[in-house]
């Protein structure tokens, strides 16, 4: 059984997609052990509670230092036996010690085709506004490994989404979100099946065992 922690700061639609994949049988052997949010009123915590999944509000502002926060975070992850950390709309930076402790075991979903349109400030509608401002005809979603920089780690899965004439950031966001909801559970499934490895900083996906 792969125990995962899902981190989010917002409504939690990607978390719901993970739950749907688990209940729909396309993510066998995966369990959401805990949901963590920096935002006590986040929808993602409500969804967790509705599914009797531990929902934890954890914010660095309640700790004397980033180190104390990181220690609390790591203690919680270990207490829940977390093996994979999934960032699903988590707006905070993970402390370096957490990234180090979970090296190659933290994934993030980003609503663009990284490495473009990523990095500091590139979140939510800002991403889609930038894609439209750049007059791109294609956007997409990316699942990547998390390292010490925003939206920078090795890419696990990516899929493209057309940008249509007359698109607004909201219309493009919704079209990309549908791809996110497919891509993130798929990436978790690869991890659960032990089909991912990192070689020379790049993710390799191994074929399914016969
Ligand atoms: C998603 O668009 C994701 O790509 C980005 O934040 C958003 C989270 O949405 N990182 P939700 O909370 O999963 O609905």
Angstrom CA distances, 33 to 17, 57, 91, 92, 156, stand at 16, 14, 21, 20, 22
Substitution site in 32, 124, 156, 184 for ligand 1 pocket (most atoms within 8 Å of beta carbon): 124
Strand order across the beta sheet in which 84-87 lies = 55-57, 30-37, 2-7, 84-87, 106-110, 138-145, 155-162
Which residues are near ligand 1 (CB < 6 Å)? Answer: 8, 10-14, 88-89, 109-111, 177, 180
All structural domains of the chain, each given as residue ranges with its CATH number in brackets, are 2-205 (3.40.50.170)
Summarised one tens digit per residue, pLDDT across range 192-207 is 999 999 999 999 999 9
Q: Quote the pLDDT of residue 27.
A: 96
Q: How far is the CA of 88 from the centre of ligand 1 (A)?
A: 6
pLDDT of residue 83: 98
Can you give the pTM of this predicted structure?
0.97
pLDDT for the residue numbered 166? 96
Is the separation of the CB atoms in 179 and 161 below 8 Å? yes
Tokens of 56: 């934890």
110 annotated active-site = yes
**Which one, of 97, 98, 123, lies nearest residue 112 by Cα?**
123
Output the six-digit token pair for 63.
Answer: 């700790």
Say what the pLDDT of residue 148 is.
87
Query: What's the CA-to-centroid distance between 14 and ligand 1, angstroms?
Result: 6
pLDDT score recorded for residue 149? 85
pLDDT (tens digit per residue) in 91-135: 999 999 999 999 999 999 999 999 999 998 899 999 999 999 999
Kindly state the tokens that stand for 86.
């999934």
Query: Is residue 153's pLDDT more than 80?
Result: yes
Split at pLDDT 50, 70, 90, the class of 209 is confident
**Residues 89 and 8 sit within 8 Å (Cβ to Cβ):** yes
Residue nearest atom 5 of ligand 1, based on CA coordinates: 89
Q: Which atom of ligand 1 is nearest to the CA of 88?
A: 13
């Amino acid at each position: 059984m792969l125990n995962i922690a899902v981190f989010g700061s917002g409504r939690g639609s990607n978390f719901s997609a993970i739950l749907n994949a688990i209940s729909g049988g396309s993510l066998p052997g995966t369990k959401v052990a805990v949901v963590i949010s920096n935002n006590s009123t986040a929808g993602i915590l409500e969804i967790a509670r509705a599914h009797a999944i531990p929902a934890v509000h954890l914010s660095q502002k309640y700790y004397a230092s980033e180190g104390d926060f990181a220690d609390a975070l790591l203690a919680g992850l270990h207490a829940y036996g977390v093996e994979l950390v999934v960032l699903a709309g988590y707006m905070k930076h993970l402390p370096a010690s957490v990234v180090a402790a979970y090296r190659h075991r933290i994934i993030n979903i980003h609503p663009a085709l990284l490495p473009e349109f990523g990095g500091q400030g590139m979140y939510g509608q800002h991403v889609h506004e930038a894609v439209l401002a750049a007059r791109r005809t294609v956007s997409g979603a990316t699942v990547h490994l998390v390292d010490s920089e925003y939206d920078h780690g090795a890419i696990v899965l990516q899929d493209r989404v057309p940008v249509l004439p007359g698109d607004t950031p909201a219309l493009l966001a919704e079209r990309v979100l549908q791809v996110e909801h497919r891509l993130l559970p798929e990436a978790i499934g690869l991890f659960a099946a032990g089909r991912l490895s990192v070689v020379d900083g790049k993710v390799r996906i191994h074929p399914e065992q016969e």
